[in-house]
Structure 1
């Protein structure tokens, strides 16, 4: 019997920093929690920059520092994602409006589009883009993703 994952999530951000970190963090948590086979986990960009690229090197370094690897390649969120994924969690208001606008072009879409930060127990709603920032900014994104992914995973388990 082929077991099909019953839950699905795609993390969305502007580009190659936040969503690949969130995806990698969530995958590790689901793996450590023994539930990764219940999930289809992905991430995508709201823009078409850097398609096919690896995540930002500073983000990869931050993940490695925490013992997490990713082989993610940047892709754009597609219209199909709004039908095939149960959850689309994004990082800021701009991502949210981009995704909601794109979703409107998909008849009867089923994905629940929310801010990942809405799950933060510390109530940091927005996960700021660290692209023009420092290593500390990437670390902050990582910590926010850990808190939010943990809360989201607990809520959906």
Structure 2
């Protein structure tokens, strides 16, 4: 955070428990801004929207495996979204409709955060929901989450930079 400037944009990735989708999305977004040479322009984090039972825990082993296979080193731990986050972050991305419903209920009226569904960026209409892979077996659902995040993060940043 020491390299932030007044124009730093802040992004918070949200999923149910902050152990699967949002850590993957956080890591992917970070990688994309590195590739664009825009690391100093962004602060990226992740949190849980509904379930705080994983607070302080590492991401699911399958999420970590997918990140490792794609040459990411992720050392974050799960944490809950707070009321302050709606004033701190410019963009808060949910992964599915229940995330978005929860975020909209929690968002204070006077907050600055834009609530967006990550899958609305670059994903086909029938694949916009980034499904929670936690209760699904194997790593394949985590691969799909990763692939969706790669596309969506790249498309959001493409649209962001073409609009500014």
* TM-score bracket relative to the smaller structure: over 0.9
2:55 is aligned with 1:51:
yes
**1:88 is paired with a residue of what secondary structure?**
strand
- CA deviation string 1:66-120 (max 9, x = no partner): 11111111110110010110000010010011111111xx240110101100102
Q: Unaligned 5+ residue runs, structure 2? A: none
Aligned counterpart, 1:113: 115
**1:21 is paired with a residue of what secondary structure?**
helix
Trace 1:7-156 onto structure 2 (pairs within 5 A): 7-15=9-17, 16-46=19-49, 47-103=51-107, 106-123=108-125, 124-133=127-136, 134-156=138-160
- CA deviation string 1:15-70 (max 9, x = no partner): 11000000000001111211011001000001211101111110000011011111
Distance in 2 of aligned mates of 1:64 and 1:94: 28
Number of equivalences: 155
Distance in 2 of aligned mates of 1:126 and 1:147: 13
**1:132 is paired with a residue of what secondary structure?**
coil
Q: Unaligned 5+ residue runs, structure 1? A: none
Distance in 2 of aligned mates of 1:147 and 1:39: 18
Runs of 4+ in 1 over 4 A off after TM superposition: none
What's the C-alpha RMSD, in Å, of the aligned pairs? 1.5
Task: State the TM-score, normalizing by the size of structure 2.
Answer: 0.90
**1:52 is paired with a residue of what secondary structure?**
coil
Distance in 1 of aligned mates of 2:7 and 2:64: 27
Paired residues of 2:96 and 2:130 also in contact (CA < 8 A)? yes
Paired residues of 1:5 and 1:37 also in contact (CA < 8 A)? no
Distance in 2 of aligned mates of 1:64 and 1:147: 18
